[in-house]
């Protein structure tokens, strides 16, 4: 019997049709062992390169004037990306938005709402929104812990639309810069 001829071993040595077995010996490596080795190398390489850094996240910060369709955009973009097989999460950063046309993964209203601020602090809508954004800026650890629960997802940030938050105040800019420091790769939409 030729060395390494698997066909002859399975059919037996007495079969004449197999006597001229010319199959060359092929080393058989289990597929799981191959992927296990490959995965181990990949994990070791990843671990060496990212011991200090955390996972990189991707998403969009959706801004615009009131009534321009920011929430509708987030809803439709979520449907589009989900249809393509992407795992999507929508984060509502607008404390004045009571009716959301999408399923919200994280909502600022669990931290603070505009109506509570207006009632308790006797502020108007613009002053209340500025207070809410400052409150979120002071509680960025809350936002970071909630965002970590959404790891592995493409994140859409639905922001408030009051112009004063962008032209006369720095809270939204500071929140966006903090996202960049946390290694969120976001674009403005």
pLDDT-based confidence at 41, cuts 50/70/90?
A: very low
pLDDT-based confidence at 35, cuts 50/70/90?
A: very low
Question: What token pair was written down for 82?
Answer: 């989900």
pLDDT of residue 171: 92
In percent, how much of the chain has pLDDT > 70?
Answer: 71
Question: Is the model's pLDDT at 76 over the cut of 50?
Answer: yes
Structure pTM?
0.70
Residue 151 per-residue DSSP state = T
168 C-beta neighbours (distance < 10 Å), count:
10
pLDDT-based confidence at 20, cuts 50/70/90?
A: low
Question: Is the model's pLDDT at 31 over the cut of 90?
Answer: no
Question: Is the model's pLDDT at 114 over the cut of 50?
Answer: yes
Choice between 1 and 172, residue whose per-residue pLDDT is larger: 172
Residue 109 per-residue DSSP state = G
Helix (H) or strand (E) holding 4: none
Mean pLDDT calculated for residue range 149-176: 93
Phi, psi at residue 60, to the nearest 5°? -135, 140
Helix (H) or strand (E) holding 152: none
Question: What token pair was written down for 134?
Answer: 């400052």
Give the separation between CA 16 and CA 145, rounded to whole angstroms.
71
Give the separation between CA 89 and CA 78, rounded to whole angstroms.
8
Mean pLDDT calculated for residue range 112-124: 94
pLDDT-based confidence at 54, cuts 50/70/90?
A: low
């Amino acid at each position: 019997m030729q060395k390494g001829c698997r066909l002859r071993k399975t059919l037996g040595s007495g079969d004449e049709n197999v006597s001229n077995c010319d199959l060359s010996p092929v080393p058989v490596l289990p597929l799981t062992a191959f992927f296990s080795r490959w995965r181990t190398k990949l994990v070791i390489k990843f671990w060496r390169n990212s011991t200090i850094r955390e996972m990189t996240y991707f998403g969009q910060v959706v801004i615009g004037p009131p009534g321009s369709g920011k929430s509708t955009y987030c809803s439709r973009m979520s449907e589009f990306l989900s249809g393509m097989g992407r795992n999507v999460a929508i984060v509502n950063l607008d404390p004045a938005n009571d009716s959301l046309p999408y399923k919200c993964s994280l909502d600022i209203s669990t931290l603070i709402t505009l109506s509570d601020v207006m009632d308790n602090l006797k502020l108007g809508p613009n002053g209340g929104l500025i207070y809410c954004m400052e409150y979120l800026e002071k509680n960025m650890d809350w936002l970071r812990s909630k965002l970590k629960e959404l790891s592995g997802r493409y994140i859409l940030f639905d922001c408030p639309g009051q112009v004063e938050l962008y032209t006369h105040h720095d809270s939204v800019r500071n929140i966006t810069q903090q996202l960049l420091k946390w290694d969120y790769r976001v674009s403005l939409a």
